């Protein structure tokens, strides 16, 4: 595995281990405005979007 991939993987593992929840969302089909609203609501709840 390339060093860059190892670094990215390590960062995500650290984030997952530090978080009590991990939610996967399929946002396919959302309009930009709808996705922005989702992102804003998650930010209000101190959640991160990646």
| Residue 5 falls inside a structural domain | no
Which residue range forms the structural domain that includes residue 33? 21-50
Number of domains in the chain: 1
Burial of 38 (0-12, 13-18, 19+ CB in 10 A): middle
pTM for the full predicted model = 0.61
Cα 18 from Cα 34, distance rounded (Å): 28
| Residue 10 falls inside a structural domain | no
Kindly state the tokens that stand for 43: 């930010």
Half-sphere exposure of 12 (CA within 13 A, CB side): 9
| Residue 44 falls inside a structural domain | yes
| Residue 12 falls inside a structural domain | no
| Residue 46 falls inside a structural domain | yes
| Residue 29 falls inside a structural domain | yes
pLDDT, one tens digit per residue, over 10-44 is 998 999 999 888 888 898 999 999 999 999 999 99
Cα 8 from Cα 17, distance rounded (Å): 14
pLDDT of residue 49: 85
Cα 38 from Cα 44, distance rounded (Å): 10
| Residue 40 falls inside a structural domain | yes
């Amino acid at each position: 595995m390339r060093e860059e991939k190892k670094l990215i993987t390590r960062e995500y593992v650290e984030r997952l281990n530090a978080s009590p929840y991990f939610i996967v969302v399929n946002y396919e089909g959302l309009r930009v405005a709808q996705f922005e609203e989702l992102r804003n609501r998650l930010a209000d709840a101190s959640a991160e979007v990646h």
